[in-house]
Structure 1
Amino acid sequence: MKIWTQLLLLISSLSFYGQTGAVSGKVTDGHDGIPAASIIVSPIGYSLATDEDGNYFIKDIPYGNYEIIFSAVGFKTIRKKIAIDKPEAILLTIVMEEDNLALEEVVITGTMKEVSRSESPIPVEIITPKLFKKNPTASLFEAVGMINGVQPQLNCNVCNTGDIHINGMEGPYTMILIDGMPIVSALSTVYGLSGIPNSIVERIEVVKGPASSLYGSEAMGGIINVITKSPVKAPIISADTFVTSWGELSMDGAVKINTGKATSLLGLNYFNYNHRADKNGDNFTDVTQQNRISVFNKWNFEREENRVFSLAGRYVYEDRWGGELNWSKKWRGSDSIYGESIYTKRAEMIGLYQLPATERIFTQFSYNWHDQNSYYGYTPYMATQQVAFVQTYWDKQFGEGHTFLLGAAFRYTEYDDNTPATASADGTSNQPQRTPLPGVFIQDEWHLNDNHKLLGGYRFDYDKNHGGVHSPRAAYKFSPNANNTIRASFGTGFRVVNLFTEDHAALTGARDVVIAEALKPERSYNGNLNYILKIPTESFFLGFDVTGFYSYFTNKIVGDFDTDPDKIIYDNLKGHAISQGVSLNTDLTFTFPLKVMAGISYMDVFQIEDKGNGAVRSQQLHAPKWSGNLISTYTFRKGVSIDLTANWYGPMRLPILPNDYRPEYSPWFCIANIQMTKKFDYGLEFYGGIKNLFDFVPKDPILRPFDPFDKHVDDPVNNPNGYTFDPSYNYASMQGRRVFLGVRYNLL
């Protein structure tokens, strides 16, 4: 090939007596340069790649007619015919369009190994930094709400802690991973996604439905896997800072460091909010005061034969409080002025090591330590948790059709607090909970042919209190062509529960906790049917992604808020619970610079319990039957774009007290945001906009805020209904409309 190329060059050179020209320019996506785009000059075969800013320069091209081919991953290939007939360089700027059909995001959560999203037999939904920058947030807790069917839910109007619901199921049913490690669970669930620097996040993967056959306990409702950036591929410097008219300050940054055969990514996140807003006039802070700092450091080490070795660590400190406006730290733990004050310290370590063997054998390990020092009014909650995890698995290809995954895992949890949860049987001494949980798993992905793929998996875990737990699953994928894909899956999940670490309502101090009996582990059985349709045309691309889901739960642990207004009574459900529904996601991209993504979900989440006089059906709290989202972007010339994002919810059932004057179901509401961004050269951009455009806030979020310690409850004249202080009536943030301004910078 080289000989023929040289011959052709020689002939061309002789024909034009050695005269040559040049072509220069820039390859962009409409506003940003595309680095490493491939450029080929046909037929002479000249090839090169654009630099980090998308610029290129091709010199010494003999006079003649040529076709220049521009290509880049995730973009449509462009061919330009050009005539070289003068020595001056010809300026040629190329604007490439995103290729929805060719863009193959790599996902790992569904099968625990890298596979293109379209080839995965398990449906996986993705949020990339490109998406959550369209509505900048101070934490990933808020960012995941951009996925249809995923609902960040605040559970307390005073301290603003919350959890993440998938398909209407409460937070404890959602397993949160960082780089595939169960680093965020139990005690840290309500704070786990706060303080992860956005600048170190590569993408967020969401799997809806049980995945216990691979990930064990807690993965019975769904998985959120935060994939951090590889230091090798990360920008040299990245930074993102914004402020709001409510006084919030978020600072996020990262820097890449090269040291010999190792590359490091150091990330820092700082968030501060210290403004005592009380727009509804109940003398309580509308938004919790927060001061949080998080440091993240990840290392990739270069090894022989490209074997993998990475280490990462994170430390988080947070001081948050909410309560009456005149509260200060001197009132912490007193019964004079009500406040909920939480000090959190957390350290994490994550590692991945590929063994030096001919086979693909990997070992993953993690450790986290979480310390919480808190007061809910005058109720103290002091807790410490340590979780150690190690897992080894063998990724083996058998023949052309079978890919096996065989592994073993061990998780050890130690939990200690000042509640009866860790007291000895006679209540005279402290007895921390120590929970070893070993497990083995196997998975076979069978590639039948280009159209059919089958996956089967099985896991066995052993719990010292509950014995052996079996978790099988199966999935099938059928793709008759590139524009149609059908996926069907069935899976089981289980959860070993420590309710004190998972249910914040038990810690508010407003109600006493009653455990009715020895709790049994929960089980879930889930089926999903997913259909993806792609409709490419000359003027637009339209994508449909529709999923029907059904989950059946047994031994579900429920909190009874209704029997006694002063108590939360926990018990295994004497019956079953069901989460069922359908969700539709659409993706519409036009040839002009407009892109729209929208989703809608219908969910029916309920439980049926036998209370001695027949089966009684009750709707799940905080699970709206209808919900949806919208992300719309229009890009103007000169690097200006406008983003409109929105989440809307139908009525959801709320925790109310007997004879409560507040409605049992929330109203329809929408939280919409608008943002304008201006991008400049060299990776600099400014952005600003309005959050909560319609200024929606809930009404009467706290019952009897004037008597938070219930000192005057027994007053038949002023309190004839016997109401007690209750801050759990929550369905949306109390933050109203606010303006934000920010700046980002990336140096590649």
Structure 2
Amino acid sequence: MLHRIALLICLIQIFGLHTAAQQPMLSGVVVDDEGAALTGATVHWQHAPGQGVTTDQEGAFQLFLPADTAQRILVTSFVGYKADTLRVRFAGKLFITLHTGHTLEEVEVSADRSATYLLDSPAKVEVISSGELKRAACCDLSGCFETTASVQAMTTNVLTQAKELRTLGLSGVYNQILVNGLPLIQGLSYTYGVNAIPGTVIKNIYVAKGASSVLQGFEGISGQINVEFKEADEAERLLLNAYANSFGETQYNASYVTRGKGWSNMSAAYVVLPAQRIDRDNDDFLDLPLTRRLSFFNQWDYKQEGERGLAARIGLRYVDEQRTGGQQLYRRDKDQDSHTVYGQTVDIRQPEFYTKTSYLFNANSRVTLLASAQYHKQTSYFGATSYDAEQMMAYANVQYEHTWAAKHDLKAGASYRYLHNEENIDFNDLPLGRTYDGQYNRRDLIPGVFAEQYFDFAPFSIIAGMRLDHHQRFGLFFTPRALARYQLSEFTQIRLSAGTGFRTVNLFSENIGLLASSRDIVFQEDIKPERALNMGLNLNHTIVADPWTLTLMADFYRTQFQNQFFPDYDTEPTKAIIANFEETSVSNSAQLEAKLSWNQRVEFKVAYNYLDVYRMEGEQKQTLPFNPKHKFMTALAYETAKKHWRADANLHWYGSQRLPSTSAYPVEFQQPATSKPYSVVSAQLTKVWTRFEVYAGCENIFDFRQLRPILSWQDPFGPYFDTAFNWGPTKGREVYLGLRFILE
């Protein structure tokens, strides 16, 4: 299969089959500040002012979309109003507001102006905008996916609330997380990294399932999530946000922008203060950790005017975080190595630097440098076990980009990845039969080269890429990927994707439950890199019947591993067996989704996910734990005509999940073989003034909780203690109130 994909990519890059273009249609509505339709407004493409149209009595218009994406600049004007200039991404429906009081700069928008939309690309990339993030509390990155069915935030340690982002039913380690296109969340920063990015600095989140671009590396087996920070020249001049919830936790955000000629700067701060000590299920353990977080962020943007010149973004970020979880009586200042009072503490200090610097030779050619460096220091206690770790990570990517024949893009370059971490584990005179204490050192030196070609033969387009990387221990890795899209009609698209990926394993940071439990770790062999092939199919269809728009989507992805690693918890109850699994291991994922919108004010979304994640042990099919085979999500959003009120609600239903076997445990510690189905309902109401927004909401309205998720909570220093059996929410109902002040 691998050589077939590589051969296909080579053939595509040599030959392009040109099919006849079908010119899609753009439609839209033009309104004033009050939301009233503007009849007789002029709408035209900037390059063809004499070929425009005027809006009808309902403010509606239709125009053919130019085949050349460079010509998709739309100008809308009306007597007594300032003209509006929009750069259109793709066919669909626009909602344009003309203003009387100020001049609008040129902005780039999606065709349907929805809070979520698909990129105009052969890859199926779902864009979650900052507008969508306001539909829930979204305090940090892990909470930004309440209204999407493609990503699930999962808790990996119930005592410290460490989280990961899953796609296709696979562990979050297979999902490459990028920050501004850079791999800043990996290694030691993987465990708590998704909690350290505040939602207020995020502009867009790009979610791609399955195989994606090779430009950012060889990982991304199940997908890729790229978090794009706000740009200083577009962000609010001043943003203040305060948040408090019913557990007593408070969060504060502030960002400030300054601008000069050709440059701009954004500074931001993020503070989290801990909740109260709460134990509702009377197991003597806190229902949520006490978290203190302080984060500073500064980003500079510079751009020379004209078609030639330098453009640069330079960012600095620092995170200082403390987490404390465990028994009610635990105090970190005196109990960190206690043998009688159990607790977990995490102290993190993490400075990082990143840059994206480009030099534009002309409108068609540029060279770009993406680089980052990060230092991570972590001091932790898991009961009496201490875990101290340090990591130094650096990354550089230089690529040349060239557009030829006006619409085909070639990108090629080289990258280098450096990762070095040192981990020290000490049982502090409480081994419990465990033998894996000591020091663990790891170093990755990975140079690579890559090339990726984008062909646009409307209605057919394709991205074909390949990269070759060399690991100093494991040798060469070849990664081919191909993504194709065919425009069946103006409103129907089909996408195909296929590609391979590989990754090296970070044992303890990616399996933090090993340190939290009383299990011994048995190393049967050295851990090899994980390898997999992913194939995907997506169908997207839009039905427009003004003022209604219905979007239907269907996905299917299959991930097949050649080598996979996960600890074996089932064979022996007091041990975790570490071995490579080179037999059949598969994830089949299907998703059906429908989104109905009315007049840009009402949006209703419903989605269903089917997951079949298993491995073959001989002739027996073994379903992997903590994966609901069936999931259901629905979300409803409403906004008043004058945009003064917003109401949002969502429901998630999870089917039963297989749990790790406890049949060999003593009877008092045995757990059911499967979890029970459950649902979580959340809602939020927002009031908007000119500069203020007040939002109030409730997560998990019906207060579903998995009671006493910790195994052997009565004896936390005993041989069967384990915190890795949580399959559902443990905090219960959460009521919150927030205030935003925005100065544009």
The TM tier, using the shorter chain, reads 0.7 to 0.9
Moved more, 584-593 or 193-202: 584-593
- Cα pair 2:169 2:589 within 8 Å, conserved: no
Distance 1:457 1:152 in 2: 30
**What does residue 622 of structure 1 align with?**
626
Match of 2:390 among 365, 374, 384: 384
**What does residue 677 of structure 1 align with?**
686
Matched, 1:487 2:495: yes
**What does residue 248 of structure 2 align with?**
247
For residues 411-560 of structure 1, the aligned pairs below 5 Å read 411-419=417-425, 432-448=441-457, 450-560=458-568
Matched, 1:730 2:726: yes
Q: 1:326 to 1:430 in 2, by over 3 A?
A: closer
Distance 1:154 1:267 in 2: 27
- Cα pair 1:441 1:457 within 8 Å, conserved: yes
Q: 1:68 to 1:188 in 2, by over 3 A?
A: closer
Distance 2:391 2:459 in 1: 47
- Cα pair 2:285 2:327 within 8 Å, conserved: yes
The one-character-per-residue Cα deviations of 1:558-592 (angstroms, maximum 9, x if unpaired) are 21001121111111114121111211222111248
- Give how far 1:354 is off: 1.2
- Cα pair 1:180 1:227 within 8 Å, conserved: yes
Matched, 1:647 2:655: no
Matched, 1:218 2:223: no
- Give how far 1:67 is off: 9.9
For residues 135-214 of structure 1, the aligned pairs below 5 Å read 135-211=136-212, 213-214=214-215
Match of 1:321 among 324, 328, 332: 324
Distance 2:167 2:589 in 1: 12
- Give how far 1:385 is off: 0.7
Q: 1:213 to 1:539 in 2, by over 3 A?
A: closer
- Cα pair 2:358 2:366 within 8 Å, conserved: yes
- Cα pair 2:118 2:127 within 8 Å, conserved: no
For residues 64-103 of structure 1, the aligned pairs below 5 Å read 73=86, 76=94, 102-103=111-112
Q: 1:78 to 1:604 in 2, by over 3 A?
A: closer
The one-character-per-residue Cα deviations of 1:101-142 (angstroms, maximum 9, x if unpaired) are 8237999xxxxxxxx954300000121121121111321112
Moved over 6 A (4+): 37-40, 65-70, 77-80, 90-93, 104-107
- Give how far 1:461 is off: 0.6
- Give how far 1:615 is off: 2.8
- Give how far 1:197 is off: 2.5
For residues 288-307 of structure 1, the aligned pairs below 5 Å read 288-304=289-305, 305=308, 307=310
Match of 1:740 among 729, 736, 739: 736
- Classify the secondary structure of the residue corresponding to 1:193: helix
Distance 1:105 1:673 in 2: 21
Give the residue type in structure 2 aligned to 1:652. Q
Q: 1:675 to 1:576 in 2, by over 3 A?
A: same
Give the percent of matched residue pairs that are identical in Structure 1 and Structure 2.
Answer: 28
- Give how far 1:442 is off: 0.6
Distance 1:596 1:672 in 2: 15
Which TM-score applies when normalising by structure 1?
0.82
**What does residue 312 of structure 2 align with?**
309
The one-character-per-residue Cα deviations of 1:689-710 (angstroms, maximum 9, x if unpaired) are 2211110111230122121001
- Give how far 1:357 is off: 4.2
The one-character-per-residue Cα deviations of 1:506-565 (angstroms, maximum 9, x if unpaired) are 211421222210222111111111111000002411001211111101210121001121
Give the residue type in structure 2 aligned to 1:161. A
Matched, 1:405 2:411: yes
Give the residue type in structure 1 aligned to 2:449. V
Match of 2:357 among 353, 357, 361: 353
- 5+ long unaligned stretches in structure 2: 1-29, 51-77, 103-107, 427-435
Give the residue type in structure 1 aligned to 2:655. G
- Give how far 1:175 is off: 1.2
Matched, 1:276 2:277: yes
- Cα pair 2:520 2:574 within 8 Å, conserved: yes
Q: 1:240 to 1:100 in 2, by over 3 A?
A: same
- Classify the secondary structure of the residue corresponding to 2:157: coil
**What does residue 48 of structure 1 align with?**
none
Distance 1:172 1:502 in 2: 7
- Give how far 1:408 is off: 0.5
**What does residue 287 of structure 1 align with?**
288
Distance 2:235 2:79 in 1: 36
- Cα pair 1:67 1:79 within 8 Å, conserved: no
- Classify the secondary structure of the residue corresponding to 2:626: coil
- Cα pair 1:646 1:671 within 8 Å, conserved: yes
- Cα pair 2:146 2:650 within 8 Å, conserved: no
Distance 1:102 1:430 in 2: 54
- Give how far 1:166 is off: 0.8
For residues 18-29 of structure 1, the aligned pairs below 5 Å read 27-28=32-33
Matched, 1:370 2:376: yes
- 5+ long unaligned stretches in structure 1: 1-24, 46-64, 81-89, 94-98, 108-115, 421-426, 714-723
- Cα pair 1:548 1:581 within 8 Å, conserved: yes
- Give how far 1:160 is off: 1.7
- Give how far 1:246 is off: 1.2
- Give how far 1:332 is off: 0.5
The one-character-per-residue Cα deviations of 1:68-118 (angstroms, maximum 9, x if unpaired) are 7975648746799xxxxxxxxx9999xxxxx998237999xxxxxxxx954
- Cα pair 1:240 1:743 within 8 Å, conserved: yes
**What does residue 424 of structure 1 align with?**
none
Which TM-score applies when normalising by structure 2?
0.82
Distance 1:258 1:66 in 2: 32
- Give how far 1:268 is off: 1.1
- Cα pair 1:100 1:541 within 8 Å, conserved: no
- Cα pair 1:675 1:689 within 8 Å, conserved: yes
The one-character-per-residue Cα deviations of 1:364-388 (angstroms, maximum 9, x if unpaired) are 1000111110000011110011110
Q: 1:375 to 1:92 in 2, by over 3 A?
A: closer
**What does residue 662 of structure 1 align with?**
671
Q: 1:218 to 1:29 in 2, by over 3 A?
A: farther
Distance 1:91 1:184 in 2: 45
**What does residue 9 of structure 1 align with?**
none
**What does residue 130 of structure 1 align with?**
131
Q: 1:636 to 1:401 in 2, by over 3 A?
A: closer
For residues 29-44 of structure 1, the aligned pairs below 5 Å read none
Give the residue type in structure 1 aligned to 2:741. Y
Distance 1:698 1:442 in 2: 48
- Cα pair 1:197 1:253 within 8 Å, conserved: no
- Cα pair 2:211 2:535 within 8 Å, conserved: no
Match of 2:345 among 336, 341, 351: 341
Q: 1:707 to 1:118 in 2, by over 3 A?
A: closer
The one-character-per-residue Cα deviations of 1:159-215 (angstroms, maximum 9, x if unpaired) are 221211111100211111100000111211121121212221101111111347333
- Classify the secondary structure of the residue corresponding to 1:507: helix
Distance 1:634 1:468 in 2: 52
Distance 1:121 1:491 in 2: 14
Supply the RMSD in Å over aligned alpha carbons. Answer: 3.2
- Classify the secondary structure of the residue corresponding to 1:733: coil
- Give how far 1:637 is off: 5.7
**What does residue 13 of structure 1 align with?**
none
Distance 1:310 1:677 in 2: 33
Distance 1:101 1:498 in 2: 38
**What does residue 26 of structure 2 align with?**
none
